[in-house]
């Protein structure tokens, strides 16, 4: 049985869906005012992996990942750029989709945008006011009265006495309590605004996800996910809003992926160690980046460095090399994808790892065991299983040569130029000019190209 670490209970629990055989999952997506960074990459890849595994495990999954397209940072950036807000958000949504596609992230069933659900947000805020949990502050903002919700703090594990206003808790004039957070912001000049019972304004950040998840998954659903930075205050506030409105449990399992660090320091623009996905993909193959993310357990800190990316590239190269050396049989397809015999010892070990809180680190170790055995025995069935299990994680689906010969060496050598140098080396060897042949091999190696002499001839790959 699948076990999931539930942030709410701070323990691994058997996963029992609300509706047998079906999973409803909501993940907090991006605020689209800039290019996605490595932290966004981890969220997208981790929950894509979880979505893929749930489907491989036989569940019918409804996956929702929202887009925040109205927010203080969006308004500020659009003003700085002297462009309409929808032009800014449209541009960065397109960029996000490009980045996600390169990383092998499948599109969720639903990608709701906050601006499409403002009427529902107004309705939920009114319900909270009717339930005595919200009030109009002297500023004209509508705020949530945190101390009136008995369960506040249960996700973060903090008492009200211990809590401080979090990074994105708005400090509004006239709050009853500093911890109270804004549900509706009164209109300010030049900002987008909607009509409401409390006058012109726009929704606060937290209310967006409560309403979008309700609308697409219902008042009570299985899994809610996001980065660890969202646990408080965003997810804590979602619980307060949704459970304060409906009077019952909002989500059964809360999943949070760990932080991304850069050379063991927190990634931040102020430290100068902030990397967008696009910057990383200029230097590394997108599948290498995906592999780097998945070879670590999703809850552990992920430490980004050139050394770790180079190591990931070398490790993924070993897996693709096994597939090159032992070409797999074509895999039989079922209506739900590739058929897997989960009784096979390697497949069973892979499944056991994934059922243990999506332990991709152990699952990847199984892939290396398979690759070693396939290399040793030249068993095409093992190679097929390697490729198929890799596919469950969104890996190893390219032709081996496409991966091994992809990209460019330090000198920017093209495949045609490399083949010309190999032909020159072969000619030198035929002429018994072994010094020239060795020189060509070394020149190519210095340019990031490794030659391998096999019974079928000379083959090459990027170092």
pLDDT digits over 248-261, tens only?
999 999 999 999 99
Cβ of 32: how many Cβ atoms within 10 Å?
Answer: 25
Least confident residue range of 114-123, 304-313, 404-413: 404-413
| Residues 7, 14: Cα–Cα separation, whole Å | 13
Please tell me the distance from the alpha carbon of residue 402 to that of residue 210, in angstroms, as a whole number. Answer: 44
| 234 annotated as a binding-site residue | yes
d(CA 172, CA 27): 28
pLDDT number for residue 165: 46
Any idea which residue has 């800014």 for tokens? 88
Residues 117-127 have a mean pLDDT of 98
In CATH, the number for domain 262-404 is 1.20.120.640
Whether the predicted pLDDT of 167 surpasses 50? no
Instruction: Taking each helix axis as running N to C, give the angle between helix 380-392 and helix 360-377, from 0 to 180 degrees, rounded to the nearest 10.
Output: 160
For the residues of 365-415, what is the DSSP string, one character each? HHHHHHHHHHHHH--HHHHHHHHHHHHHTT-S-S-HHHHHT-S--TT---H
In Å, how far are 254, 293, 305, 347, 404 from 407, measured between CA atoms?
39, 20, 20, 32, 9
Rounded distance, CA 16 to CA 59, Å?
11
Task: Return d(Cα 96, Cα 38) in angstroms, integer.
Answer: 12
Question: Is residue 111 annotated as involved in ligand binding?
Answer: no
**335 pLDDT band (50/70/90 cuts)?**
very low
* Cα 248 from Cα 242, distance rounded (Å): 8
> At the fourth CATH level, which superfamily is domain 3-257?
HUPs (3.40.50.620)
143 is in an annotated binding site: no
Tell which wins on pLDDT, 429 or 54.
54
Is 238 marked within a binding site? yes
Q: Evaluate if residue 158 carries a pLDDT over 90.
A: no
On whether 28 is known to bind a ligand per the annotation, the reply is yes
Give me the mean pLDDT over the 192-215 stretch.
Answer: 97
Global confidence as pTM: 0.90
The answer to whether the CB of 217 falls within 8 A of the CB of 62 is yes
Query: Could you tell me which residues come within 8 angstroms of residue 433 by beta carbon, excluding any fewer than 6 positions away?
Result: none
């Amino acid at each position: 049985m699948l076990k999931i670490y539930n942030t709410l209970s701070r323990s691994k629990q058997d996963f029992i869906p609300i509706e047998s055989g079906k999973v409803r999952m909501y993940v907090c997506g991006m605020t689209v005012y800039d290019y996605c960074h490595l932290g966004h990459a981890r969220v997208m890849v981790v929950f894509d992996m979880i979505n893929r595994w749930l489907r491989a495990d036989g569940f019918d999954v409804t996956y929702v990942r929202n887009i925040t397209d109205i927010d203080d940072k969006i308004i500020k950036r659009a003003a700085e750029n002297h462009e309409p807000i929808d032009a800014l958000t449209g541009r960065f949504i397109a960029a996000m989709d490009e980045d996600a596609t390169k990383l092998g992230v499948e599109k969720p069933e639903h990608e709701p945008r906050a601006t499409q659900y403002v009427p529902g947000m107004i309705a939920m805020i009114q319900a909270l006011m009717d339930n005595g949990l919200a009030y109009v502050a002297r500023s004209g903002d509508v705020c949530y009265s945190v101390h009136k919700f008995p369960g506040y703090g249960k996700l973060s594990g903090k008492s009200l006495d211990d809590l401080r206003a979090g990074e994105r808790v708005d400090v509004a004039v006239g709050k009853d309590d500093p911890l109270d957070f804004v549900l509706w912001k009164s209109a300010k000049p030049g900002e987008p605004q909607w009509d409401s019972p409390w006058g012109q304004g726009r929704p606060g950040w937290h209310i967006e996800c409560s309403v979008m998840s309700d609308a697409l998954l219902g008042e009570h659903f299985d899994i809610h996910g996001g980065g660890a930075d969202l646990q408080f205050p965003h997810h804590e506030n979602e619980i307060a809003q949704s459970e304060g409105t409906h009077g019952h449990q909002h989500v059964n399992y809360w999943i949070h992926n760990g932080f991304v660090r850069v050379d063991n320091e927190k990634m931040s623009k102020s430290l100068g160690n902030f990397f967008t996905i696009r910057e990383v993909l200029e230097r590394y193959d997108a599948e290498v980046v995906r592999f780097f993310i998945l070879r670590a357990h999703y809850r552990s800190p992920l430490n980004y460095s050139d050394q770790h990316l180079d190591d990931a590239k070398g490790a993924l190269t070993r897996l693709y090399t096994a597939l090159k050396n032992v070409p797999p049989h074509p895999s039989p397809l079922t209506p739900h994808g590739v058929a897997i015999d989960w009784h096979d010892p390697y497949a069973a070990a892979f499944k056991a790892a994934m059922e243990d809180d999506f332990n991709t680190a152990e699952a990847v170790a199984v892939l290396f065991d398979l690759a070693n055995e396939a290399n040793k025995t030249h068993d095409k069935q093992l190679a097929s299983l390697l490729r198929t299990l890799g596919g469950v994680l969104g890996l190893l689906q390219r032709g081996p040569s496409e991966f091994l010969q992809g990209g460019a060496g330090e000198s920017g050598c093209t495949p045609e130029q490399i083949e010309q140098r190999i032909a020159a080396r072969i000619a030198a060897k035929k002429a018994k000019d072994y010094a020239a042949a060795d020189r060509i091999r070394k020149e190519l190696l210095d340019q990031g190209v490794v030659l391998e002499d096999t019974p079928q001839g000379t083959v090459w790959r990027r170092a």
